[in-house]
Structure 1
Amino acid sequence: MSRLDKFLAGLRFRSSTPSFEVGDEVPAFVTGRTDDGLLVRVGDTVLELPDADQSLVDAKVTIEIESFDESTHRGTARVVEVLQNEG
């Protein structure tokens, strides 16, 4: 392994469209709501929280991914824990 390889080991670039696997638990901010529920946006990726309490807009929560479509960067999740709620 060269010095450059050692230096760059573990270095990753952030994506504007991160991907998730079913079952992943992720801390996130609830950023908005639709007629169908609340939304979490992570970059350009959108996760819907269809069964979440409407008072959680702007809250920091831990979510568990329930479904994710890699091609559209959209999915659904459920709230596991409310970390901070100013609302």
Structure 2
Amino acid sequence: MSIFDKYLTGWTFRANRPSLEVGSEIDVFISETNGSAGRAYIGDTELLVEGAGPETVEKQVRVRVTDFDETTATGEGDLVEVVGESSYSG
């Protein structure tokens, strides 16, 4: 094993369009809402979150994924709970 191989051991690259598993729960930040559903972006993946109203914008929430289309990198999910505040909200 070369010094270069040793240096790069354990490195991985993150995808800009991550795939989401239906039924999994993930923590995301809600960036915008239309009043009854919010939008979260994970890289280039867009997730529509039902139940995420205006009070969840810029908050970290837990979402249960209900639908995901890997070809368009879009999905839907249900709000489970608010888990944190954004460091940018004031």
TM-score, normalised via structure 1 length: 0.79
Aligned identity (percent) is 30
Flag structure 1 segments of 5+ consecutive residues without an equivalent. Answer: none
Number of corresponding residues: 84
- Specify the alignment match of 1:39 in structure 2: 39
Residues 62 and 36 of structure 1: is their aligned pair in 2 closer, same or farther, counting only changes over 3 Å?
closer
3-state SS of paired residue (1:15): coil
8 A Cα contact 2:35 2:54, kept in partner: no
Q: Does the aligned pair in 1 maintain the 2:34–2:53 contact within 8 Å?
A: no
Match of 1:70 in 2: 70
Name the residue aligned to 2:59. 59
Structure 1 runs of 4+ aligned residues shifted over 3 Å read 2-5
After TM superposition, the score normalised by the length of structure 2 is 0.76
**3-state DSSP of counterpart to 1:67:** strand
Closer, same or farther: CA 78–24 of 1 in aligned 2, 3 Å: same
Gaps of 5+ in 2: none
1:69 maps to a residue whose letter is D
Distance 1:20 1:32 in 2: 20
CA deviation string 1:32-73 (max 9, x = no partner): 124762101001100001332321011101111110000000
